[in-house]
Amino acid sequence: MRSRYAAYVQKNIDYIVTTTVPAQQKSLDKEAMLQWSEETQWDGLDIIQHRPKVDKNHAQVEFKAYYLTSEGRQFHHELSTFTCIDGRWYFLDPTVEIALTMKQPCLCGSGKKFKQCCAPYL
């Protein structure tokens, strides 16, 4: 999570994309992500809770990312879920529309049905 926050601060959108589940990467709006990154005056990150073993292939991080506005310091509060694919951790983006039914193979490639793998986290 810290590396993804740092990537937004550094406007490194390619890193944000490559650390998102590969099946979701094509659906990301890189221009909008870059615009948000450029227009935001980032002001810190607090990790509230890290759950490294939600199950065998999933972990969660609850965080607050702070930024400055004309109204003062604000924050984005989120519970992010990550899935492990071939030994690497990827962000499951809940904002990306998924055209899967619950009985199809999971988008992470685990071989499990979507409903038994990543669906509960999206």
Q: What's the whole-number mean pLDDT along residues 27-55?
A: 93
Residues 6+ apart with CB under 8 A from 1: 45, 47, 61, 63, 80
Establish if 79 belongs to a structural domain: yes
Is residue 1 predicted with pLDDT exceeding 80? no
Establish if 101 belongs to a structural domain: no
Tell me how many domains the chain contains.
1
- DSSP secondary structure letter of residue 98: -
Integer distance in angstroms from the first to the last C-alpha of the chain? 17
pLDDT tens track for 66-110: 999 999 999 999 999 999 999 999 999 888 887 778 888 888 888
- The per-residue pLDDT for 7 is 94
What residues make up the domain containing 13? 2-95
Establish if 21 belongs to a structural domain: yes
45-49, 71-75, 115-119: lowest mean pLDDT where? 115-119
pLDDT tens track for 5-24: 999 999 999 999 999 999 99
- The per-residue pLDDT for 110 is 87
Is residue 60 predicted with pLDDT exceeding 80? yes
Establish if 46 belongs to a structural domain: yes
Establish if 70 belongs to a structural domain: yes
- DSSP secondary structure letter of residue 122: -
Establish if 80 belongs to a structural domain: yes
Element (H, E) at 55: strand 41-55
- Whichever domain contains 20, its CATH number is 3.10.450.50
Establish if 62 belongs to a structural domain: yes
Establish if 113 belongs to a structural domain: no
pLDDT band at residue 62 under the 50/70/90 scheme: very high
